[in-house]
């Protein structure tokens, strides 16, 4: 099934400005892999860690968690610092 993934503004520079990406996925892991396949420039960022927000809840990146087209999904680049 196709899910829509909304991108935080800092990630859009890697997608030629795309605000929303559509990928075939049933889990968070499949969604991340699909985003990486469409936009390889995002792969290092995804591997370094992103926050996944589903329906307003920030989730630990559980690759096995089921998702559906009804979910509102956002990818947010994790902040580094201390």
Query: What pLDDT, in 10s, does the model give residues 33-81?
Result: 999 999 999 999 998 888 899 999 988 768 999 999 999 999 997 766 5
Q: Please report the pLDDT score of residue 78 as a whole number.
A: 76
Q: Distances in Å between the alpha carbon of 53 and those of 49, 73, 82?
A: 13, 6, 22
In a domain, 11, yes or no: yes
Does any domain span residue 51?
yes
What is the structure's pLDDT at 21?
A: 95
Which CATH number covers residue 49?
A: 3.10.20.30
Which domain, by its residues, includes 55?
Answer: 2-77
Which DSSP string corresponds to the chain? -EEEEEE-GGGGGGTTT-SEEEEE-SBHHHHHHHHHHH-GGGHHHHHH-EEEEETTEEE---TT-B--TTS-EEEEEPP---
> Quick check: is 82 in a domain?
no
Report the predicted TM-score, pTM, of the whole model to 2 decimal places.
Answer: 0.89
Number of domains in the chain: 1
Q: Is residue 24 domain-resident?
A: yes
pLDDT tens, 3-41?
Answer: 999 999 889 899 989 999 999 999 999 999 999 999 999
């Amino acid at each position: 099934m196709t899910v829509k993934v909304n991108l935080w503004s800092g990630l859009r520079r890697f997608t030629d400005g795309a605000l929303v990406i559509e990928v075939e996925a049933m889990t968070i892991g499949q969604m991340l892999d699909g985003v990486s396949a469409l936009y390889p420039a995002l792969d290092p960022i995804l591997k370094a860690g992103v926050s996944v927000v589903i329906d307003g809840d920030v989730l630990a990146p559980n690759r096995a968690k089921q998702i559906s087209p009804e979910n509102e999904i956002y990818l947010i680049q994790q902040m580094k610092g201390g």
